[in-house]
Every structure is written in structure tokens, then in C-alpha cells.
């Protein structure tokens, strides 16, 4: 069975990954390894969390599972390095793991492009300063954020404690009538089990951090399974040739 390895920061919503594996019908093994640091949504702390040393540690932890692809499952811990820095981060991860590699920031870009999305609304849990950096990253990838809302939550641990009602509320309040989709960028937020609910309520595609991270891992490993309960991304995009960010 194909194995996808995910390097996940600390603990918050990592149970989205075994849930996604079940919803996908176990077409691949989704394996999570943790790295640890301060979970504050602030640029210096996020740069430390996504440092080469931590990702090498994560890659080493995953090596025992012989993964076919590895993804850094952290949006803010990648885009805070800027587009060039995030590109180098993924290239280093590919070298360290000996596999195709990517990160959640690139997963959002590739997923939006696969769906043909060019105008999106960003519904972030981060403070404004951090959320703006995600908007800038998307712009370099040709994706225009027509609106951005931020819940201004300071830590990933707090995001991981949000109940379903609050997650749906963040998604709904972050929508914009000119947006083709809503992007929810924090891997600390449990969203995999809520995709149908949110998309039905909004009437448009929703891309969430753990959803696109799983999709990206499968894509770079050469898989493109469909899963109706994992949102428009897994219903509408299939059969695309795998490549990886380098």
C-alpha cells in the first residue's frame, strides 16, 4: 500500500488524517509524525517551527514507515518564509526524506489551480499579520484573495479546541460573494468531517488545510482517488499527473 508521511506540528487536529484515510477507503496509509515547538501564531515562532532542523527530525521519524511522499503539514510554518523560502523548504525536505515532498501552502495553491479557482475568500484563524502573509503567498501563485477575515486566535492549541459550530461559523463569516471558493488555512483546525456541511451551506467549494494536505500527499505520490465526502476537491479533480514542488 502507498504510504504518505505527514510532518505535523505539536498536537491539535491530527485526528483529521486517520479520518481522511477512512473516508478515502484506505487507498493509502496516511502516517503522521510530530515535531514540537512553540505553537504561537507569530512570525518568529512559526519560522522556528518550520526550520530545517525540525523538518529533518520529522523526516527521520517517518523514515521507518518508508513513505512514498512526505508533506510538511503546516500552512503558516511554510508561507512565513515567503514563496522562495517555502520552495527551498520543500526542496530540502525532499532531499532529507528521499521522496517527493510538498507543504500545505503549496497544497492550497495546487488544489486551487486544479479546481480552476482564481478568486477566493480566506477565512483564517490567525492574527491579521500572519493571515496577510498567506494572501501574499497565494498572489504569487496567481490566486487573488478578494477578501480576508481573521479570527485572531493566538495559538494552534486554541484552534484545536474549537467546536464544530465555531469552525462552521468561521467559514461562513469568511465568505465573500465575489469568491469562487473559501480557503481555511490552519492545519490545527478540525475540518475533514465538516466539508460537506460547510460546502452545502456556502454553495461553493471549500479548501481546508488538512484536506488539501492529504490531497497533495496523494497527488505527489501519483494517486488521485475520489471521495465524495471530502469536498469538491476530491469529487471534481481526478487523474491529474503527479508532480512535486521543487
Q: Could you read off the pLDDT tens digit of each residue along the chain, which spans 246 residues? A: 999 999 999 999 999 999 999 999 989 999 999 999 887 788 889 999 999 999 999 999 999 999 999 999 999 999 999 999 999 999 999 999 999 999 999 999 999 999 999 999 999 999 999 999 999 999 999 999 999 998 888 788 889 899 999 999 999 999 999 999 999 999 999 999 999 999 999 999 999 999 999 999 999 999 999 898 999 999 987 644 334 333
SS3 state at 146: strand
Sheet holding 144-150, edge to edge: 144-150, 119-124, 181-184, 206-208
Q: Any residues with CB less than 8 A from the CB of 87 and at least 6 apart, and which?
A: 245, 246
Q: Which of 189, 172, 245, 181 shows the shortest CA–CA distance to 207?
A: 181
Q: Are 244 and 100 in contact (CB under 8 A)?
A: yes
Half-sphere exposure of 134 (CA within 13 A, CB side): 35
Q: Are 213 and 188 in contact (CB under 8 A)?
A: no
Q: Are 104 and 75 in contact (CB under 8 A)?
A: yes
Q: To 10 degrees, the CA torsion angle through 102, 194, 181, 177?
A: -150
CB atoms within 10 A of CB 181: 24
C-alpha cell at 82: 515567503
Q: Are 9 and 37 in contact (CB under 8 A)?
A: yes
Long-range contacts, 233-240 (Cβ 8 Å, 24+): 233/111, 233/114, 233/115, 233/205, 233/207, 234/24, 236/115, 236/205, 237/111, 237/114, 237/115, 240/114
Domains recognised in the chain with CATH numbers: 3-107+210-236 (3.40.50.12500), 114-207 (3.40.50.12500)
Question: How many secondary structure helices (H) and strands (E) does the chain include?
Answer: 12, 8
Amino acid at each position: 500500500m502507498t504510504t504518505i508521511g505527514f510532518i505535523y506540528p505539536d498536537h491539535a487536529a491530527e485526528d483529521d488524517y486517520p479520518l481522511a484515510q477512512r473516508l478515502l477507503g484506505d487507498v493509502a496509509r496516511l502516517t503522521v509524525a510530530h515535531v514540537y515547538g512553540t505553537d504561537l501564531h507569530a512570525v518568529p515562532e512559526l519560522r522556528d517551527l518550520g526550520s530545517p532542523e525540525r523538518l529533518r527530525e520529522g523526516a527521520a521519524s517517518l523514515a521507518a514507515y518508508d513513505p512514498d511522499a512526505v508533506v510538511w503539514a503546516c500552512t503558516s510554518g511554510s508561507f512565513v518564509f515567503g514563496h522562495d523560502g517555502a520552495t527551498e523548504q520543500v526542496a530540502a525536505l525532499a532531499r532529507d526524506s528521499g521522496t517527493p515532498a510538498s507543504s500545505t501552502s503549496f497544497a492550497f495553491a495546487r488544489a486551487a489551480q486544479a479546481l480552476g479557482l482564481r478568486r477566493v475568500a480566506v477565512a483564517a484563524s490567525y492574527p491579521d499579520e500572519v493571515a496577510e502573509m498567506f494572501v501574499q503567498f497565494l498572489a504569487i501563485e496567481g490566486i487573488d484573495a478578494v477578501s480576508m477575515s481573521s479570527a485572531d486566535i493566538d495559538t494552534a492549541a486554541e484552534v484545536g479546541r474549537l467546536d464544530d459550530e465555531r469552525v462552521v461559523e468561521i467559514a461562513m463569516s469568511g465568505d465573500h460573494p465575489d469568491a469562487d471558493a473559501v480557503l481555511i488555512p490552519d492545519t490545527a483546525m478540525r475540518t475533514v468531517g465538516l466539508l460537506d456541511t460547510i460546502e452545502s451551506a456556502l454553495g461553493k467549494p471549500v479548501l481546508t488545510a488538512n484536506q488539501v494536505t492529504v490531497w497533495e500527499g496523494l497527488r505527489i505520490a501519483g494517486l488521485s482517488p475520489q471521495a465524495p465526502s471530502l469536498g469538491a476537491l476530491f469529487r471534481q479533480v481526478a487523474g491529474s499527473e503527479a508532480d512535486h514542488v521543487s
